[in-house]
Every structure is written in C-alpha cells, then in structure tokens.
Amino acid sequence: MLEVKFDDMLMAFEFASAGDHYDSCAYLDIETGEFIFVADGFENETPLPADLETSERYLSIPDKHELDLGRALVTTFVEQFIPDKIAVVSGYFRKRGAYARYKDLLEEHSLLDRWYTFEAEATKIALRNWCEDSAITLVESSP
C-alpha cells in the first residue's frame, strides 16, 4: 500500500477543488508518491508526463464534487442547523454566487464558524474513505 502524508493529500484535494469543475486537477504518481498539479497558468517545475491522463500509474485526485462535498453537504448542514431555510438555500443554488449568499445567511444566523468546522470534518472523512478505497495509507505529518 502506498503511504502519503494526509496534509499533502489534503493540499492536492484542495488544488483539484479550486475554481470551476475541471479547471484544475491533481494526480498522484503511485510509483513515486509524488503529486502532479495541472491548471491553466500553473507552471510545473518538470514537464508533465505524456501519459498522465491515460496511464494507470497516475491516480486522479477527486474534487469536492466527486466526494459529494458541494451542494449535498450544504443541504445536509442546512437540514441539521436551519431546516426552515432549506427552500431559501435551494433557491441560491439556481443562480451564480450561491456560496456567497449562503455564507451571508450563515453569518446572519451566527453559523459560519460552525459551517467551516462541519465542512472540514466532512472533507477529512470523505478524503480518508476515498484513500482507503484507493489503497492509499494516510500518515499524519510530523509536528
């Protein structure tokens, strides 16, 4: 089983989740344990492997949508903490700028910090589960 530092995996996940869906990607070289980052305007120190997207050697790191950490997680949080606002929040996600309006609503209800904690915990759990399913052992970084 390949061992990877949790902090490195989290950084790769956050990179893959940045921007719009598929604007940025991260891969794990399962032979070396190194991460490869791909995005418009992002300069890699070494050229990208020609077979990056086709070889089984490179494992694509999921983004938040692939791990149901986008709208589905928002819905779960709202159902738990402000269920009377579920219709309002659902309406937010029919237009651009949904997360800004959602966070404004959370701020009005003094729930923004709770949301960030909830989101971070859900991310850790989902990422750990994905790694386990992908035969990757996560190790904690040394202090």
pLDDT in tens, the chain (143 residues): 799 999 999 999 999 998 665 678 999 999 999 999 998 777 777 889 999 989 999 999 999 989 999 999 999 999 999 999 999 999 999 999 999 999 999 999 999 999 999 999 999 999 999 999 999 999 987 66
Q: Where are the beta strands (DSSP E) in the chain?
A: 2-5, 24-29, 35-39, 58-60, 136-139
Single pTM value for the model: 0.85
The CB density around residue 12, as the number of other CB atoms within 10 Å, is 21
Q: Within 13 A of 30's CA, how many CA atoms are on the CB side?
A: 15
* CA 13 – CA 93 distance, rounded (Å): 23
* CA 11 – CA 6 distance, rounded (Å): 9
